[in-house]
A = this chain, B = another copy of it.
Amino acid sequence: MEKHWANPDLHLDLNGPRLGASLEDALRSAVRDGRLVPGTRLPASRVLAADLGIARNTVADAYSQLAAEGWLTAKTGAGTWVAGQGPETAPALPGPAPAPPAGVPSPRYDMRSGAGDLSAFPRREWLAAARKALSAVADRALDYPDPRGLPQLREALAGYVARTRGVSTDPGRIVVCAGFAHALALLSHVLRARGATTMAVEVYGHEAHRRIPESNGLRVVALPVDRGGVVADVLTSSFAGALPEGAARGGAGTVGGGAGTVGGGAGTVGGGAGVAAGRAAGWADAVLLTPAHQFPLGVTLQPERRRALVAWAARSGALLIEDDYDGEFRYDRHPVGAMQGLAPDHVVYAGTASKSLAPGLRLGWLAVPRRLAGDVTAAAEIAGGCPDVLSQLTLAEFIASGGYDRQVRQARLACRRRRDRMIAALRQAAPGVRVTGIAAGLHALVELPPGMREDEAVARAARHGLAVQALGAFYRGDRGGHLADRHRPALVVGYARPAGHAFTTALARLCAALADRGGPAD
């Protein structure tokens, strides 16, 4: 929680001979005494100057001096904070920021997953598209938007996902949303309202994507993931009714038996069709999955598992939710088409502009089965939060003009080059690591050298000034399962994130952290 200046208990004594020095002293002692705690945001210099009745430059100079001394942290355009805890810019979604070990400064380099190189966001082109879009539309487009999204954007998106991802849809089945978390909240609400009780997720993934269905009243169970992608036999086999109970339980070795994972056992063999309440373990009304490039393991769902899942969904009436979060970023062969194309009536396809452009745009899209289009639209209307019309018009213009495709091509090429550099550098510096999940995406899994623990690796990277995430931070099964089906210790490395000028150094820090077993080099 941000603490703000409006603190009636804090009095600054400004009676010294020089106002600026007095202010510096007052702030310094307030921090030292704990009256201003780390993370507290200070008012803008003009605001504090007005409050105190002194010149703005006096305040600005005091801030600069204290920042130079390490008491404060200033970020251009963002503000000034009491140091000791970074400014509150760590994204809440999708991944938790790694807590730096005590005594270690905030990392200067960031290879956490979740976003690409934000310095590559095409600011000029985006503003030009906004200007063009806004100058062309009728005034009425500025009214409350259609909760499905503007028609021109839905038309552009329907064409885009069909062309690039093999999604089978039309503008009437597209719902524009504010990123995947918003989409998942809407879908969870719809599922619950239709009587669903359970959503299965991959045992590795974002914790937020577990909390969202849970907060909408769904029970969340976890499915294991192996090299062929998610293992959903417990759903797809048992539901067929063809296997005896013991056979269904045969999956328990990989599935894990504890609470929070899909266990076999009583009630596993479900019958009937449609979404029903109160089913026992072994049933799910919906499955959330990342078929093209599992997050964060990076594996691709095998074709036969895709077919088994869609066949199960068609038989059972369950819904598959395909989070195609980085589907456009495939490097070494043709893109893996969206699973949705196999069964448009049983799969919700979800894409966003978060990886191709920037998460801050909060633009995402769903291609939903026809039977759900009305419910999802109603949920969007009730929940609110659909993107503003200017963002929607700008994206429609950006897609129509070819700017979006160009941006994706450039970002993909840049990511691929970084990936190749990272693999080569790690091979040389740290032969004991193994890099996987590299066929696609903006991140890779870096399996640690034998004997190195994840928390140790994260701490070592932090000592080198680099933020990375442990694979374990994305494990969302139960504790027993954690030990049973946990992957090898690894880091999730978002090689796409550093700005272009910082990548070389960030990569060197990563290599140093994983190679230098003797302790920090700095």
Contacts and interface: CB of A to CB of B under 8 A. Distances in A.
Interface of A: 1-6, 41, 43-44, 47, 75-79, 87-89, 91-94, 114-115, 118-119, 121, 123, 126-127, 130-131, 134-147, 151-152, 155, 158-159, 170-172, 177-179, 181-185, 189, 208, 211-212, 215, 354, 358-363, 373-374, 381-391, 499
7 contacts: A78-B137, A78-B138, A79-B152, A212-B384, A360-B390, A362-B388, A363-B388
Given A181-B381, A358-B389, 20 more contacts: A1-B373, A1-B374, A41-B155, A75-B138, A77-B141, A77-B152, A88-B151, A89-B141, A89-B143, A92-B146, A126-B390, A142-B360, A144-B359, A177-B385, A184-B384, A208-B381, A212-B382, A385-B385, A388-B388, A388-B391
Nearest to A144: B91
B172 A358 contact: no
B171 A137 contact: no
A386 B118 CA distance: 19
A443 to B, nearest CB: 15
Contacts of A78: 137-138, 141, 151-152
A385 B143 contact: no
Given A152-B78, A360-B389, A384-B181, A140 B127 contact: no
Contact of A359 (B135, B143, B170, B362): B143
B381 A140 contact: no
A91 B139 CA distance: 13
Contacts of A177: 384-385
Given A1-B172, A3-B172, A142 B359 contact: yes
B373 A387 contact: no
B388 A361 contact: yes
Contact of A141 (B145, B360, B388): B360
Given A2-B151, A78-B152, A360 B383 contact: no
Given A155-B44, A170-B6, A387-B388, A93 B144 contact: yes
A112 to B, nearest CB: 10
A75 B391 CA distance: 21
A451 to B, nearest CB: 34
Contacts of A2: 151, 171-172
B383 A185 contact: yes
Contacts of A390: 126, 360-361, 391
A138 B170 CA distance: 38
Contacts of A373: 1
Copies of this chain in the oligomer: 2
A20 to B, nearest CB: 23
A2 B146 CA distance: 11
Which 3 A-B residue pairings sit nearest by Cβ, starting from the closest? A385-B385, A182-B384, A91-B144
B137 A4 contact: no
A115 B137 contact: no
A387 B358 contact: no
B118 A140 contact: yes
A87 B151 CA distance: 10
Given A360-B144, A388-B363, A138 B382 contact: no
Contact of A93 (B6, B115, B381): B381
A425 B115 CA distance: 58
Nearest to A119: B139
Contact of A178 (B136, B354, B384): B384
A211 to B, nearest CB: 6
Nearest to A385: B385
Contact of A134 (B44, B88, B127, B354): B127
B360 A145 contact: yes
A244 B48 CA distance: 53
A27 B81 CA distance: 64
A391 B392 CA distance: 12
User: Which residue, A91, A126, A360, A389, has most C-beta atoms of chain B within 10 A?
Assistant: A360
Given A91-B144, A151-B2, A215 B382 contact: yes
B499 A139 contact: yes
Contacts of A158: 4
A247 to B, nearest CB: 38
A181 B115 CA distance: 29
B360 A388 contact: yes
Contacts of A44: 155
Given A93-B144, A144-B94, A147-B92, A139 B152 contact: no
Contacts of A1: 172, 373-374
A361 B136 CA distance: 16
A92 B178 contact: no
Given A127-B130, A171-B41, A172-B3, A386 B359 contact: no
A127 B127 CA distance: 8
A76 B127 contact: no
B171 A384 contact: no
